[in-house]
Structure 1
Amino acid sequence: MTNISDKGAYNIVTSLTKCTNLLTLILDFWDNSIGAESNFDLGSALSKLNNLQTLKLDLRYNCINAEGLLELGNGLARCTNLTTLTLYIQQNIIGNKSVEYLGSALQNCAKLQNLSLDIFNFDDQDENSLEPAAISNCKNIQNLTLNIWQKSIGLQGAQVLGLTLAKFTNLSVLTLNLQINKIGDKGLSCLASGFVNCANLSNLTLNLADNQIGAQGASELGFALPNCKNLQNLALNLDANHVGSIGILDLSSALIKCLKLQNLKLELLQNNLGLQGTSHLGSSLLKCSNLLFLEIKLGFNTINLINQSKLRTRILKMKRLLQIQLSWSLE
């Protein structure tokens, strides 16, 4: 939908109030000059959809303020049968108080199992504005996706996020997109300590590109991963960091201990791995006994063509693999 403005949004959400038996609702209001008034109407409409189980709202690039989000939150709070929620609301004018409104609303959604959020404010000078903490009471969540791009959350933000994740003991699927956030080694350590207690975690996606992570951070992550005893699928993006040969040694050695790992995707562009680092990686992968699918990106790691060929030959010896992708480019 495009250019519907407040009036158009009002007409749409008003019609929803008649759909009392609606189970699934998807609304895409991206870039429509929608303001607080429309969110008041939307919140009111949602409060009447008592049977709603799945809701996806895309409200990005509008003019929603804190008052508008408050009204939306009030509506969400009444959707007590909600099990799946996807909410995109960045690029509005909602301010830090939005966190409290959203958190209060989600606390009432006791049946919520699948949650996907684009984090829209993250003021590292105000601990009350750290939005991951706002969802910490949603303890029945099994599938969680948080997109926190280019917010410079730093160490404090990573600490809050780690403490929040530790409360989600029922998690089976976790996706964290944290690229360009300056969390550093200590931040990654805090983050890893959060999901280390998620015993049911089977799918983990971590996008940590360009986060000033070095060997110590990679080692801390490596220490945490084997504690996820049921981990089967791992996608790890550490592009544009400083992992180095020592960091990749510890990280790849940890992968051997992930005994149920079947699907592995590693993106390690620009990490100064060198010959020694890639050699360690190759040796460790050979020992991942249950691995079936493997994708690795190793561009810009000062590896010459001869050693690239050696690594490829080593990986191709893994006869159990059903699919292999090995790339030395930026693609």
Structure 2
Amino acid sequence: MNINCLSQLNNPENPNNTFQLKVNLSKKKIGVQSCSLFADFLINFINLKELFLDVKSNNLDEEGMEILGQGISQCQNLISLNIDLQSNNLDNSASEKIISLISNCQNLQILIANLSQNFTSSIGSHLANCSNIKTLNLNLSLNNIGDVESSHLGLEISNIKQLTSLILNLSGNKIGHQGISQMTTQLSKCQLLNTLYLQLLSNKIGDQGVTKLAKNLTYFPSLSSIYLDLRWNNIGDQGSVALGQDLANCQNLKVITLELRWNDIGDKGFSVLGQGCTKCKFLNSLSLDLSSNKIGYLNNSSITFNLGECQNLKQLNLNLSVNKIGDQAILVLCKGIAQCVSLQKLILDLSTNNIENLGAQYLGQELVNCQNLNILTAHLQWNNIVDAGAYILIENVLQNKKIKNLTLDLKQNTIEDQVFLKISQLLRKNSSLNALCLFIGNQNITSQIRSKLVKMKKLVNLVL
């Protein structure tokens, strides 16, 4: 059942047979009286399993939060709660009040709470009373949280003994190296935690903080999936090296996602980070975003990237856009990628680098050796590739008959229209592709190419 206005809170239809309820009251200027109306409305739904409540941007006070919490606490069969409290000027007292009441829902297993853009840094220790809670998704971004507050938050969350999945958004706060160290030390006490998402964009962590964070990751006993968003934290090579060295000791990791753009990371930081990830022998998905750093600024020959030890790696997403990676580094990268014998999906963003024809040729030649590759996406826009390089790249890629889904972005290079027409002839002869996305940046030639490709034998999806 979906509720989008207060007038719908009067006569519920079939409340005993309603298991999922979505209520959107955002920006409705609701107050205490409306909260009471909603709480009374919820009494009718004794079998409710899932509740989504959006009350963001309403300037609710502590009294309103208490009434909402009391209403939700009546739903004793509730398993999943998604509550959006963003931009309500809540302080710690108001936030802890509603969380304490929600904790009375003893069957709750999934809690998603958006407390962004308030004045809160705490959820209290009440969630420890929810003995069945396994998944916690908590958004505390833009709340002026510092080291002391983040440490306390880690302690509060560590009390949730059955927690297996944690998504914690702390972007746009003031957390430094001490705060991230103390918080992750506390979180490592969650013995069953296997999935950890930490969004720490735009804090004050620095290389010292990342070093402590990386070391603490090795103390999580059950961790198998890690997502770290460390954009705009000035971690540099030192932080990236520490992260790589300690990730190598997280032997149970199967999924690694690292967002590290805008961090002044150079060749050494990138190389050691890559080497560390490859030491995780069970790794099957790796995503590294190192765009807008300083890779290749000094000496491309110092770049290494050997994925030969990742025998189980099936998905690789590597974003190196807006660096200065040249042709020789492309060869090193692609040789390393080709050693992933199980690789099925590759997304490679090399836009805005110094890639010329030789680099494009290396890319095509090495990708032929990825014998299990089904999906290939290559972003090569804003480079120095000209006619021959583009043609050789695609000619080589098409030799890999395992590739069924191909996306190539070649915009903003210096490639003549006639070369694209020749490329379309190559593509038309291919009998393996099911899906093709080709971006060339010239609308006039695009229509001509489309007319040549629409009759490809197995092609079911074409984007030009």
Is the TM value for this pair above 0.5? yes
SS at match of 1:227: coil
Equivalent position of 1:166 in the other structure: 248
Match of 1:131 among 213, 220, 238: 213
* Shift in Å, 1:227: 1.1
With over 3 angstroms needed to count, the CA separation of the structure-2 counterparts of 1:13 and 1:136, relative to structure 1, is: same
- Please identify, of 247-256 and 89-98, the stretch whose mean Cα deviation from structure 2 is larger: 89-98
Would you say 1:114 and 2:195 are equivalent positions? yes
Equivalent position of 1:24 in the other structure: 110
- Please identify, of 272-281 and 310-319, the stretch whose mean Cα deviation from structure 2 is larger: 310-319
Matched length: 322
Equivalent position of 2:119 in the other structure: 34
* Shift in Å, 1:289: 1.1
Equivalent position of 2:67 in the other structure: none
- Note the 1:61-80 alignment, pairs <5 A: 61-80=142-161
Match of 1:43 among 114, 124, 134: 124
* Shift in Å, 1:307: 3.3
- 1-side partners of 2:376 and 2:184: how far apart? 38
2:259 partner letter: N
2:385 partner letter: I
Equivalent position of 2:172 in the other structure: 91
In the alignment, is the contact (CA less than 8 A) between 1:294 and 1:324 conserved in 2? yes
SS at match of 1:43: coil
With over 3 angstroms needed to count, the CA separation of the structure-2 counterparts of 1:241 and 1:277, relative to structure 1, is: same
In the alignment, is the contact (CA less than 8 A) between 2:224 and 2:253 conserved in 1? yes
Match of 2:137 among 56, 59, 73: 56
- 2-side partners of 1:229 and 1:160: how far apart? 24
In the alignment, is the contact (CA less than 8 A) between 2:181 and 2:209 conserved in 1? no
* Shift in Å, 1:217: 5.1
2:329 partner letter: G
Deviations 1:190-241 (A, max 9, x none): 21232221000011111111221122354x11x2x11111111111111112
1:58 partner letter: N
- 1-side partners of 2:358 and 2:144: how far apart? 52
- Please identify, of 291-300 and 102-111, the stretch whose mean Cα deviation from structure 2 is larger: 102-111
Equivalent position of 2:268 in the other structure: 186
SS at match of 2:167: strand
Equivalent position of 1:216 in the other structure: 301
* Shift in Å, 1:59: 0.4
- 2-side partners of 1:287 and 1:181: how far apart? 33
With over 3 angstroms needed to count, the CA separation of the structure-2 counterparts of 1:22 and 1:217, relative to structure 1, is: farther
- Please identify, of 317-326 and 286-295, the stretch whose mean Cα deviation from structure 2 is larger: 317-326
- 2-side partners of 1:326 and 1:24: how far apart? 40
RMSD: 2.1
With over 3 angstroms needed to count, the CA separation of the structure-2 counterparts of 1:91 and 1:294, relative to structure 1, is: same
* Shift in Å, 1:128: 8.3
Match of 1:207 among 289, 304, 310: 289
- Please identify, of 183-192 and 95-104, the stretch whose mean Cα deviation from structure 2 is larger: 95-104
SS at match of 1:117: strand
Instruction: Answer 1 or 2: higher relative contact order, Cα 8 Å, separation at least 6.
Output: 1
- Note the 1:138-287 alignment, pairs <5 A: 138-214=220-296, 215-216=300-301, 218=303, 220-221=304-305, 223=306, 225-287=307-369
Gaps of 5+ in 1: none
TM-score computed with the length of structure 2 as normaliser: 0.65
With over 3 angstroms needed to count, the CA separation of the structure-2 counterparts of 1:195 and 1:139, relative to structure 1, is: farther
Gaps of 5+ in 2: 1-55, 58-86, 413-438, 440-464
SS at match of 2:186: helix
- 2-side partners of 1:128 and 1:327: how far apart? 34
- Note the 1:281-320 alignment, pairs <5 A: 281-320=363-402
